[in-house]
Amino acid sequence: MIIQLTTTSLSHMPHPSLFFPYLSPLKPFLTPSVSLSSSPTTTDSGLQFRRKLLYLESLNVNSLKALHKNPQFRSSSLQTLKSVENCLSSFGIPRSSRGRILDMYPQLLTSDPHLHLYPVFDFLINEVEIPFPEVGKSFIRCPRLLVSSVDLQLRPTFLFLQGLGFVGKHKINCHTSVLLVSSVENTLIPKLEFLRSLGFSEFEVVTMVLRSPALLTYSVENNLKPKMEYFVKEMKMELKEIQNFPQYFSFSLEGKIKPRHRLLMEHGFSMPLKNILKVSDGEFNDRLLELRLWHIDQLL
């Protein structure tokens, strides 16, 4: 059942504003684990360091970047690094993706899996209820989940999304779990307010977002605004078209929207927004040809 974005519909849960004090900008919160090995000699230390560099290379992790982003890497043990990779492996993440994730977030290299990684995993499994085989996909699609605090970031956003209507058939899954790393105050609410400002009702906005969750991931300034301006000024269609096909915002303005619309305009034709964008280039050209032939027949 869809829940409208109103004060009444959210009365069963804390108002989103209650979350805001805790939704400070994401900061690395992973604390380096301490190597349990005894202090090596200068020679052993150099040898161990080279082994760690070779290990990172085997994962395609940029060692210079790792040293710069995570100085604790230098003093950590090789076993610490391997324990992190083993943890990621236990989540069902393939080795190629493990290396990509560690290269993106080198702070993970010295994290304690039991303090920082397994809590995120448990949250996705037990609270968000993403099936175990799908959790690894969530991390692959959004590695930032692994460096996000459950208490300060993931859970507050999850509760807000549930109140918005992401429940039942719309509940968060491995494809939409990327929304969990968004700030409610600085990201989600401004986008909802922008859509509302276009003339849609709160119910219509929620319906659009549930149909196309990616709307909450697009930049207002770089995506939503320019595409909406083109829609209003050039395409001159009714808002109903956007409401029926909110996926409009997922298509490239310069690469698909403008070229196809201009082709239609050149021949004096029009199509529903969905028919303009959802088909392949070949299908679109076939439809355009059919329209031209039909127009010629009408003239004869």
Give domain status of residue 32, yes or no. Answer: no
Give CA–CA dist 252/227, Å, rounded: 9
Is residue 300 a part of any domain in this protein?
yes
CATH number at residue 123: 1.25.70.10
Please say which residue of 180, 196, 220 terminates a domain: 180
Do residue 216 and residue 131 come from a single domain? no
Report residue 188: phi and psi, to 5°: -70, -50
Q: How many domains does the chain have?
A: 3
pLDDT given at position 235 = 95
What pLDDT does 295 receive? Answer: 64
φ, ψ dihedrals at 204, nearest 5° = -65, -40
CB atoms within 10 A of CB 135: 23
- Please give the pLDDT value at position 293: 74
Last residue of a domain, one of 152, 180, 208: 180
- For residues 167 and 115, membership in a common domain is answered with yes
pLDDT value of position 183: 97
Q: Is residue 137 a part of any domain in this protein?
A: yes
Contacts of 290 by beta carbon, 8 Å cutoff, 6+ apart: none
pLDDT of res. 285: 86
Residue 300: the pLDDT is 58
Contact 227, 218 (CB under 8 A): no
Cβ–Cβ < 8 Å for 153, 185: no
Residue 19: inside a domain, yes or no?
no
Q: What tokens were used for 120?
A: 């995120």
Does 23 fall in a domain? no
- Distance separating alpha carbons of residues 70 and 65, to the nearest angstrom: 8
pLDDT tens for the 300 residues of the chain, in order: 333 444 334 333 444 333 333 333 333 333 344 343 444 444 457 898 999 999 999 999 999 999 999 999 999 999 999 999 999 999 999 999 999 999 999 999 999 999 999 999 999 999 999 999 999 999 999 999 999 999 999 999 999 999 999 999 999 999 999 999 999 999 999 999 999 999 999 999 999 999 999 999 999 999 999 999 999 999 999 999 999 999 999 999 999 999 999 989 988 888 899 999 999 988 988 888 887 777 666 665
Q: In this predicted structure, what is the pLDDT of residue 156? A: 98
193 shares its domain with 159: no
- Look up the domain containing 223 and give its range: 182-243
Q: Is-contact 103 61, C-beta < 8 A?
A: yes
Q: Rounded to whole angstroms, how far apart are CA atoms 158 and 149?
A: 12
Same domain, 66 and 189: no
At residue 268, the pLDDT reads: 86
